[in-house]
Structure 1
């Protein structure tokens, strides 16, 4: 039950302002939609000068058709956490990844207010996602996964923050959620004249996550949808990653290792080659094709 007269902390206001401006919604327009708050009150909250009643905040979220995680974790926060996680991942530092995961998980479990809990849920999920990929060990439980899935299944519009978050927690989401969210993202981007590298990376991550869950048919649907999007002619990495996913699907279908080995040998980027060989070996182990 909500506390009577409870207020959303004033530090949330500036984060909300970023979302509102990105959506090109004016304060006056928003105040009129909500109908129970003045423009000046919203303005003071967005400047971080005072709190805002929970009831009004929830009306704002409904009016803007956005979810809590778009407000709580800013893009800067996300990138800072990801930078630490990716550094440990690239260094194959399993111990550091586990340490980061458990630290953020503890903060999630110890959080008492709803918004801090959501923030640390998302941050811990990113760390545990990378730890799971590198170590094969899952630090989460079913209850945690259900809570995480609920955060993402409430998405109605794909802001940049949402895309970044989804790209980095997919291994902890159930296959139906990954499939549903990927189709939603691809559908929203279908008519765009130019689709960002971030979107391509997120959808290809989803394809790989579905392959690891032994769902090649769903992975193929998402890959086909990704191929129909308008990426920049200069976005060579996305094109090569799409070819790699196609090669993995061919390997899963045929069990023939030579074509994908040939593809991997053609890569000039040593770091990329090493990373994708590791990814291929994961798929090979999952599908038990053995040596061909």
Structure 2
């Protein structure tokens, strides 16, 4: 079973059965019955394009399917992790990590258990700089990330939720790889919009983490990311985050915060991004803590 596949296939199966559609009927003209069965049971992968075509037969939009999948039992369990992270509760994150790690065989599938452990450890690392993963689990994580190639939605999710745990060199490599994939996607197709948003966010998150750890590697990713500017014009939030990273590169180089204080943050306020701007101001504080002023 692919541990970074989440439960999209399982959720698809539940929807298909609820609509009383057979494997053969849904797969006809799109994929084989056996391939669909394997994906539904977590034993294979399915391209996003094929999933979208099959969803049409079920009268489900891609966005509805993704949202429904992300509201599954796994993601309900993630809420507690997210709350602990948002409130800087290191003790709670450690407690959750220990719980998922020790009780995985009893309460969760191996796939879900590893993802929950990973997300807990990733959040803990983000707040404390301490990696809770054993060497064995760290190797397991890095091997799985290295095997990502096609960048299915599940792959992007996996990478985005492990970025703090990854060595800078691997984070840089996978970020550049994902940027290349984003460039290849046909952005005129509506079915790619959701994937593109998640992919852009994953690279933006990774780029910021790289800047905190290794300026040169972060700078290289941001330089490559600039090739996505025509695409970013369609995604306002992601464009703002990219402009933040460009300002961050200049700040690290010059230690001059005037660009942030006199241009970037006032512009955020003017454009009514004030709520979102609080997160970026916190990110700027992180930069100053690492690089000084």
TM-score, scaled relative to structure 1: 0.69
Q: What is aligned with 1:224?
A: 223
Q: Which stretch of structure 1 is more off in the superposition, 231-240 or 143-152?
A: 231-240
Q: What is aligned with 2:32?
A: 27
Q: What is aligned with 2:257?
A: 257
How much has 1:146 moved relative to structure 2?
1.6
Secondary structure of the corresponding residue to residue 244 of structure 2: helix
Q: 1:247 to 1:13 in 2, by over 3 A?
A: closer
Q: What is aligned with 1:35?
A: none
How much has 1:13 moved relative to structure 2?
11
Q: What is aligned with 2:88?
A: 92
Q: What is aligned with 1:211?
A: 211
Matched, 1:170 2:172: no
TM-score, scaled relative to structure 2: 0.68
Residues 159-215 of structure 1 deviation map (CA, whole Å, 9 limit, x = unaligned)? 11111121111000111211111111111121223252111110001101111222x
User: For this pair of structures, how many residues does the alignment match?
Assistant: 241
| 8 Å Cα contact 1:267/1:273 also seen in 2 | yes
| 8 Å Cα contact 2:151/2:178 also seen in 1 | yes
Q: 1:258 to 1:209 in 2, by over 3 A?
A: same
Q: What is aligned with 1:37?
A: none
Alpha-carbon distance in 1 for matches of 2:199, 2:9: 26
Q: 1:221 to 1:28 in 2, by over 3 A?
A: same
Secondary structure of the corresponding residue to residue 203 of structure 1: helix
Q: What is aligned with 2:282?
A: 278
Alpha-carbon distance in 1 for matches of 2:93, 2:281: 21
Q: What is aligned with 2:139?
A: 146
Unaligned runs of 5+ in 1: 1-11, 31-41, 66-73
Alpha-carbon distance in 2 for matches of 1:278, 1:105: 31
| 8 Å Cα contact 1:122/1:148 also seen in 2 | no
How much has 1:286 moved relative to structure 2?
2.0
| 8 Å Cα contact 1:149/1:173 also seen in 2 | yes
